[in-house]
Amino acid sequence: MTGDRLNLLNHDRRGLEARFAELGEKPFRARQILQWIYQRNVDDFAVMTDLSKALRARLADCAEVRPPEVVMDRDSDDGSRKWLLRLADGNCIETVFIPGPDRGTLCVSSQVGCALNCSFCSTATQGFNRNLEVSEIIGQLLIANRLLGAGEAGARPVTNVVMMGMGEPLLNFDNVVAAMWLMRDDLAFGLSKRRITLSTSGIVPEMDRLREACDVSLAVSLHATNDALRDELVPINRKYPIAELLAACRRYVGDDGRRRVTFEYVMLDGINDSDRHARELLRLLEGVPSKINLIPFNPFPHTRYRRSRPERILAFQEILARAGIVTITRKTRGDDIDAACGQLAGDFRDRTRRRESRLQTRLQEGLY
Ligand code: SAH
């Protein structure tokens, strides 16, 4: 079914109000719908009894609430859980839930594939396919909460969202911002802006726009302490080098002294993990209110990199911590189900290949 139906998951509150105005309906109808969908977990218009019968019939006719379809659901031994979701066009994306003692974090994808080509990331190897729609982004949260047992009573297992799945969220700016508004909206998920973290490889102009469009916590994938190395690891650095990136970070947090940027730093054996690199990192971040998140590299097939040894990571962390910077080493979670940082991709890649070979066959058969 569908195609020309209005998928209500594609709009934040403002967008829905505008759509309803086009239908000649009052804006508060949009607000009622938001609550039905996101707070009561209802997608059947017939059940939405505070809407008029006529509106219910109309919506049943022209609208739908359609998140992606779950095609695989895997549990890791460490409690994390990964879903493979199929989109309407057949592409697949991954979403990962990471439970903690005091929170439940969902790692959300923003694009099918990624265009940035970071040399240590498995998503990069599959190339870029397309941006996700709002429904495909917010649908990840809706599905996770449902499958983790949220009911009509409104329990919400997901308390935090990190935009750290597949893709570069700032290169899908409008849809990511609308989805994050739904995460924040009290009529939808009601998460505080501190519980939503957007991670970027450093798309400087969009970092400035983000602060205005939807203020959330910012994480930046730094990974290197000089431009020569960062050019190699995170090629977008050639366009927005470290000095410009850090200036944007300072603008983002402002100078009220309360906010900090989280810098992500992947620990690559023999590449960026020496004591000298740690000291360079300290110098670099002087004057930038920061926290550091060390991520032990997660290997994937055909990678040229290795994970730094645990003692090396500890020594690196100690240099930073001794200088007073809050530094944590991210626990490797879900690697038994290929759900760790930078490992989201495999299934989709294989699917693409299958699709390509189908296409090849059809081309040979002269069908296209
Ligand atoms: N494109 C955004 C969002 C991805 S977030 C960004 O670059 O920030 C995922 C985080 O995991 C990023 O910091 C990314 O650099 C890191 N990462 C990618 N591949 C990894 C790997 N193989 N091992 C560990 N971390 C990796």
For residues 29 and 154, state if they share a domain: no
Minimum mean pLDDT among 75-84, 167-176, 189-198, 328-337: which range?
Answer: 328-337
Give residue 368's pLDDT: 27
Q: Which one of 64, 79, 108 terminates a domain?
A: 64
357 CA distance to ligand 1 centroid (A)?
Answer: 29
For residues 51 and 85, state if they share a domain: no
pTM, to two decimals: 0.91
Average pLDDT for the chain: 89
Q: What CATH number did the domain enclosing 15 receive?
A: 1.10.150.530
Q: Coil, strand, or helix at residue 262?
A: strand
295 CB within 6 A, ligand 1: yes
pLDDT of residue 3 exceeding 90: no
In the chain, the number of structural domains is: 2
199 CB within 6 A, ligand 1: yes
221 CA distance to ligand 1 centroid (A)?
Answer: 7
341 CA distance to ligand 1 centroid (A)?
Answer: 6
* Separation of alpha carbons 220 and 261, rounded Å: 7
Which residues span the domain enclosing 31?
6-64
Mark whether 341 is an active-site residue: yes
Taking residues 301-318, what's their average pLDDT?
96
List, for residues 265-277, the tens digit of each pLDDT value: 999 999 999 999 9
101 CA distance to ligand 1 centroid (A)?
Answer: 24
Mutate to test the pocket of ligand 1, among 341, 343, 344 (most ligand atoms within 8 A of CB): 341
198 is a domain residue: yes
Best mean pLDDT range from 113-127, 236-250, 336-350: 236-250
- Residue 143: pLDDT band by 50, 70, 90 thresholds? very high
32 is a domain residue: yes
113 CB within 6 A, ligand 1: no
164 CA distance to ligand 1 centroid (A)?
Answer: 7
Strand partners, 266: 295
For residues 20 and 161, state if they share a domain: no
CA distances from 156 to 113, 185, 354 (A): 29, 14, 37
* Separation of alpha carbons 65 and 113, rounded Å: 25
Taking residues 202-216, what's their average pLDDT?
97
Taking residues 118-136, what's their average pLDDT?
94
For residues 26 and 166, state if they share a domain: no
Give residue 354's pLDDT: 41
Nearest CA to ligand 1 atom 11: 341
Nearest CA to ligand 1 atom 26: 342
pLDDT of residue 131 exceeding 80: yes
Position in ligand 1 atom list of the atom nearest CA 199: 8
List, for residues 170-198, the tens digit of each pLDDT value: 999 999 999 999 999 999 999 999 999 99
160 HSE (CA, 13 A, CB side):
15
For residues 39 and 139, state if they share a domain: no
**Higher-confidence position of 45 and 152:** 45
For residues 44 and 148, state if they share a domain: no
Mark whether 25 is an active-site residue: no
Angle, in degrees to the nearest 10, between helices 134-147 and 173-184: 40
Nearest CA to ligand 1 atom 21: 342
For residues 171 and 224, state if they share a domain: yes
For residues 17 and 52, state if they share a domain: yes
* Separation of alpha carbons 234 and 288, rounded Å: 20
Give residue 358's pLDDT: 35
pLDDT of residue 144 exceeding 60: yes
What percent of the chain lies above the pLDDT cut of 90? 80
Mutate to test the pocket of ligand 1, among 95, 98, 118, 307 (most ligand atoms within 8 A of CB): 118
1 is a domain residue: no
Q: Return the amino acid letter for 295.
A: I
pLDDT of residue 154 exceeding 70: no
- Name the catalytic one among 94, 136, 168, 264: 94
What percent of the chain lies above the pLDDT cut of 70? 88
List, for residues 86-114, the tens digit of each pLDDT value: 999 999 999 999 999 999 999 999 999 99
Contact yes or no for 87/151 (Cβ under 8 A): no
Q: What CATH number did the domain enclosing 178 receive?
A: 3.20.20.70
Task: Give the E-state strand segments of the chain in sequence order.
Answer: 6-7, 63-64, 69-75, 81-86, 92-99, 104-107, 111-113, 128-131, 160-163, 196-200, 217-221, 261-267, 290-296, 327-329
Angle, in degrees to the nearest 10, between helices 27-34 and 13-22: 130
pLDDT of residue 341 exceeding 90: no
pLDDT of residue 203 exceeding 90: yes
- Residue 348: pLDDT band by 50, 70, 90 thresholds? very low
